[in-house]
Amino acid sequence: MNTKWSKGFGALMLSTLLVTSACSGGGGGGNSPDNATNKPASGNVGAAEGGSTTLSIMWWGTDARHEATKKALDIYTKQNPSVTFKPEFMAWDAYWQKLPTLAASKTITDVLQMDAAFIQEYVSRGQLEDLSDIDLSGIVDPGVIENLKIDGKLYGIPLSQNAQGLAFNKVELEQFGIPLPHKDWTYDEFFQWARDARAKLPEGKYPIGDTTSWDGFNYYQTSMGKPPIMSDGGKTFTLDKELFMKFYGTYEEFRKAKIVPPAEKAAAFLENDPQADPMASGVLMTRGATTGSVSALEQLMPGKVGVVNLPVGPAGGGWAQSTIFLSVSANSKNKDEAKKFVKWFIEDKEAGTALGLTRGIPINPDVYASLEATLEPKDKIGKEIYDLSLDKALPFYSPAAGFSEWVDTYRKEMEAVTFAQQSIEDAFNKIDKMGKELAEKAAG
């Protein structure tokens, strides 16, 4: 054979193999434990042999949540010996990488945890079972249920109350003689508070953080009485230019006046990391926190964290509602058993005790009441955010189906603004153009 040829061919094969083999690595990442919870299931999942059922269930979360949930599953099996579980649990990222592949092969677990940010997408693809016929009276407030319905049907059983607020370093603010933020402060008050605080803080410390993500501005736009950026399932896209220029213009002024940290510093922040957390590191005096996440911050700086609701406008501000659910797969072979289980999950007191606050404030008031006496400060602070936010709360706005890339683009374009690499107007034009194109596509 011609040696030149064989070498060339060899080169091609070599590169093909290397590229493909390198791409095939990785994957997995989740835990599929064969532990005590997971009693050896006879037969396949779904095969009801001798009246026994194995429910597969999947959730994301922290270790504390994993342990608590496994305990709750054991309790269910104790109460219903014919039902065993095949649990799978992992972190947020891995979960949302795994779920679409399961959906593609129609093998989503019988029961699965769902998030408000994704539920619309999965409902619109027919992956979730209608749970409207589950009787939740006396467990969940009927108004809450109504709010969660998608096209008149309930696709996820709400697990907890959640809310978005602002955490602040109350010890240091007091130390520097800065007044603490008060409930229902307006955006104007918030901005003025930041300016005043700057004058009193030493160099290297900043009153507030910069903002580059879409939701930061969406809070502002909706609080001013304008529609959310994405509405109507992504078919309507509204980015108010006047408000956009004003909002980010203020932050531009703040960057110059060192009211917010320089972009280079902001890009290095890593929330809930002991050294790099914007607030726990002592750099920022405030940062966003939710009912479900603030306990992690409190543990990093015990006794120092105070909370307030997000700034409000004429229409209100922030949100306070359920964002995590349990859903049932539309392809499940054990729908009845699964429905029974999801109701039990929020109703049963024993389960409630085992689960604690690992998914936020339990949605069932009875369960919360029985937990209240034993709550630690880190748990109570989450409840405080919820209570402060409730009366002014606007709905929780999540990215519409198909907008995940737009969300990334928004952040990157605004990052370029914070690094002074492009003007606010240029960023607006790019973000607006992409959003409108997506809305057009969604409208078909």
Partner 1 sequence: MTIGVIADSKTRTQTKSMPVKEKSKRISGQQLAGYIFISPWLLGFLLLTLWPIAQSFYLSFTEYSLLEDPVWTGTDNYVNIFTDDATFTKSLSVTFMFVLFSVPLKLFFSLMVAIALNKNIKGMNLYRTAIYFPSLIGGSIAVAALWRNMFGLDGYVNQVLAWFGIEGVGWISNPDTSLGTLILLNTWQFGSTMVIFLAGLKQVPQELYESASVDGAGKVRKFISITLPMLSPVMFFNLVLGIIGSFQTFTSAFIITKGGPINSTYMYAMFLYEKAFKHYQMGYASALAWILLSIVALLTLINFAASRYWVFYESDGGKTK
Q: Return the range that interacts with partner 1 (CB under 8 A); candidates 22-30, 109-117, 203-211, 241-249.
A: 22-30
* Interaction between residue 58 and partner 1 (CB under 8 A): no
1, 2, 23, 50: which one contacts partner 1 (CB under 8 A)?
23
* Interaction between residue 443 and partner 1 (CB under 8 A): no
Please report the DSSP string for 144-160 in residue order: HHHHH-BTTB--SEE-E
* Interaction between residue 12 and partner 1 (CB under 8 A): yes
CA nearest neighbour of 286 among 254, 314, 240: 254
2, 137, 275, 374: which one contacts partner 1 (CB under 8 A)?
275
| Residue 218: CB minimum distance to partner 1, A | 19
Contact flags string 235-274 toward partner 1, x per CB under 8 A: ----------------------------xxxxxx------
| R_g of the chain, CA atoms, integer Å | 25
Q: How far apart, in whole angstroms, are the C-alpha atoms of residue 54 and residue 85?
A: 5
CA nearest neighbour of 208 among 309, 286, 297: 286
State which residue, 214 or 341, has the beta carbon closest to partner 1.
Answer: 214
Contact flags string 394-423 toward partner 1, x per CB under 8 A: ----------xx--x---x--xx--x-x--
**Residue 175 vs residues 15, 197, 297: alpha-carbon distances, Å:** 62, 12, 20
Residue 409 corresponds to which amino acid? T
| Residue 67: CB minimum distance to partner 1, A | 24
| Residue 35: CB minimum distance to partner 1, A | 25
86, containing H or E segment: strand 83-90
State which residue, 24 or 374, has the beta carbon closest to partner 1.
Answer: 24
* Interaction between residue 374 and partner 1 (CB under 8 A): no
Residue 317 corresponds to which amino acid? G
State which residue, 419 or 425, has the beta carbon closest to partner 1.
Answer: 419
Residue corresponding to tokens 């696709």: 155
State which residue, 127 or 358, has the beta carbon closest to partner 1.
Answer: 127
CA nearest neighbour of 73 among 332, 350, 299: 350
Sign of CA pseudo-dihedral 358, 359, 361, 367:
negative
3-state DSSP percent of the chain in helix, strand and coil, to 5: 45, 15, 40
Three-state helix/strand/coil letters over 181-214: CCCCCEHHHHHHHHHHHHHHCCCCCECCCCCCCH
State which residue, 67 or 425, has the beta carbon closest to partner 1.
Answer: 425
* Interaction between residue 203 and partner 1 (CB under 8 A): no
Pairing of strands 324-328, 286-290: unpaired
* Interaction between residue 441 and partner 1 (CB under 8 A): no
Report how many residues bind partner 1 under the rule CB under 8 A.
39
Residues 72-111 close enough to bind partner 1 by CB under 8 A: 97, 100-101, 103-104
110, 121, 252, 298: which one contacts partner 1 (CB under 8 A)?
121
Which residues lie closer than 8 Å to 301 by C-beta, 6 or more apart? 169, 279, 280
| Residue numbers at the binding site for partner 1 (CB under 8 A) | 7-8, 10-12, 14-16, 18-20, 22-24, 97, 100-101, 103-104, 121-122, 125, 127, 263-268, 275-276, 404-405, 408, 412, 415-416, 419, 421
